[in-house]
Structure 1
Amino acid sequence: MAVTYDFAGKTAIVTGGSRGIGRAVATQLAGSGADVWVWDADPVPAAGIRSQTVDATKAFEIREALADVVAGAGRVDILVNNAGYLGPYLGFEAFEPVEWQRIIGVNLLGTFEVTHQVLPIMRKAGTGRIVNMGSLAGKEGLPNLAAYSAASAGIIAFTKALSREVCDTGIRVNCVAPGPIDTDLIRRLGNEVVSDMIGASPLKRLGSAEEVAALVLWLCSDSSSFNTGAVFDMSGGRARY
């Protein structure tokens, strides 16, 4: 039996919410009654979801979009930092610095910037749920994904640090660290790489975006009120710790 949540009266922002994991999260939140605002550099309209064109690395775009959310909803109860960029599957020495900077910028600095602007609204309300999307790469360091691994590790550490800074409030901050999930982001790596990923998984398959979204919804709910600063694996048993 599927678990259901009631997010009626809650306002949620999901970055990178037009595709893949982000879209699944936004769809499930909206289906559970939340007023969902998707921030994406290339938004795709979806029924029951408000979409805004936002580059998570640009402070002024975040500021303008957040003003619209506050004007329309008056609050932000849930923030899912999902905007991400995997980058090329290359050895570190083959990386161009511009690619490294883009990966760190979108994944890590984007999470910093969005959270920095949304957090004061949650702190004023005395409550909130922040879920940061990390990666198995951030825990284990994956070859040919050095920059992405570094950015994901930063997100994990940021989650733990921020959770302690706000532990005297009703704000909870957690991180989800997926392994290979069946999205366009992963499929672009090519069949050979994807096959290797499946072979490395004890469950011998890719995860689904809907499975990740189900975990995110739990973390956004009152059922997870005693969880903060935690990192939740979604790796099909591949994570070593």
Structure 2
Amino acid sequence: MIFENRFQGRHAVVTGGAAGLGYGITRRILAEGGSVEVWDINADALNAIDLPGCTTLQIDVTDADAVASAMGEANPDILVCSAGITGPNTTTWEYPVADWLAVHALNLNALFYCCRAAAALMQAKGWGRIVNIASIAGKEGNPNAPAYSSSKAAVIGLTKSLGKELATSGVTCNAIAPAAVRTAIFDQMTQEHIDFIQSKIPMGRFGTVEEIAAMACWLASDEASFSTGFCFDQSGGRATA
């Protein structure tokens, strides 16, 4: 269900917005009357976007200075942090150090840079919504995904901390912890790992981009005014806490 003009007059920045969950969230914000600046590192994917009300920026969000400058230019009302990678599927003791650092650089450090820059701007306006895409892996820890699991656990912790810091400011910060959603990120996983994560979902299926976008847009709206510092599960029954 689309809520007409729910985001009228609101401007969003969506990281990793040229594909997957970020693109789905972008489309819904636009459909509900908002404007969006999509941030992504993939120039080809950005060039393929042709959506009214949408602008794009090629940016490496692991660059703190670039993020601070771009966030100041965008001055968003809404920030959705969706950029992320899974890294390889292997045990902790075999996990390559370079891959560990790369996963945390994008999934955690870049998200911190974005939240840090946006929070200051939003407080000055007295209204804002930050939505971080975490993962059920951050709550439960998937085997053979130590970097991904730990980075998403850290996202949840950061979200809780920032949400409390902003609690009286008119700005909220929440996270979503989906179980797996079939997007291009599956290309980074082994089939064995994909089968494992599906087996953990009581509903027996993966989530959809549209389902995650619906939750993200509720959290980004005026309606979610009494929710902050919380991680909302979308796990098909997998989550137990």
Cα deviation digits, residues 140-188 of structure 1 (max 9, x gap): 0110011111111111011111111111110011000011111111244
Please give the alpha-carbon distance, in whole angstroms, between the structure 1 residues aligned to 2:170 and 2:135.
26
Give the counterpart of 1:63 among 60, 68, 83: 68
Deviating 4+ runs (over 4 angstroms): none
Paired residue type of 2:146: A
The CA RMSD measured in Å over matched residues stands at 1.3
Deviation at 1:189, TM superposition (A): 1.8
Please give the alpha-carbon distance, in whole angstroms, between the structure 2 residues aligned to 1:202 and 1:150.
23
Cα deviation digits, residues 108-165 of structure 1 (max 9, x gap): 1111111111211101001100001111010001100111111111110111111111
Is 102-111 or 184-193 further displaced after alignment?
Answer: 184-193
Aligned partners of 2:12 and 2:78 also within 8 Å? yes
Match of 2:57 in 1: 52
Match of 1:4 in 2: 3
Cα deviation digits, residues 29-74 of structure 1 (max 9, x gap): 11111110011111424212211011111022213322432xxxxx
Match of 1:150 in 2: 150
Please give the alpha-carbon distance, in whole angstroms, between the structure 1 residues aligned to 2:195 and 2:98.
29
Match of 2:124 in 1: 124
Match of 2:177 in 1: 177
Match of 1:72 in 2: none
Paired residue type of 2:11: T
Residues 1:196 and 1:142: Cα distance change in structure 2 (over 3 Å): closer
Deviation at 1:76, TM superposition (A): 1.4
Match of 1:107 in 2: 107
Q: Does 1:24 align with 2:24?
A: yes
SS at match of 2:160: helix
Cα deviation digits, residues 70-125 of structure 1 (max 9, x gap): xxxxx411000111111011111111111101111101111111111121110100
Aligned partners of 2:89 and 2:193 also within 8 Å? no
Paired residue type of 1:62: V
Structure 1 portions without partners, runs of 5+:
70-74
Aligned length: 235
Please give the alpha-carbon distance, in whole angstroms, between the structure 2 residues aligned to 1:12 and 1:207.
24
Q: Percent identity?
A: 35
Deviation at 1:196, TM superposition (A): 2.8
Scaled by the length of structure 2, what TM-score is found? Answer: 0.93
Is 58-67 or 93-102 further displaced after alignment?
Answer: 58-67
Structure 2 portions without partners, runs of 5+:
none
Paired residue type of 1:53: Q
Deviation at 1:197, TM superposition (A): 2.3
Paired residue type of 1:56: V
Paired residue type of 2:234: M
SS at match of 1:176: strand
SS at match of 1:175: strand
Aligned partners of 2:86 and 2:148 also within 8 Å? yes
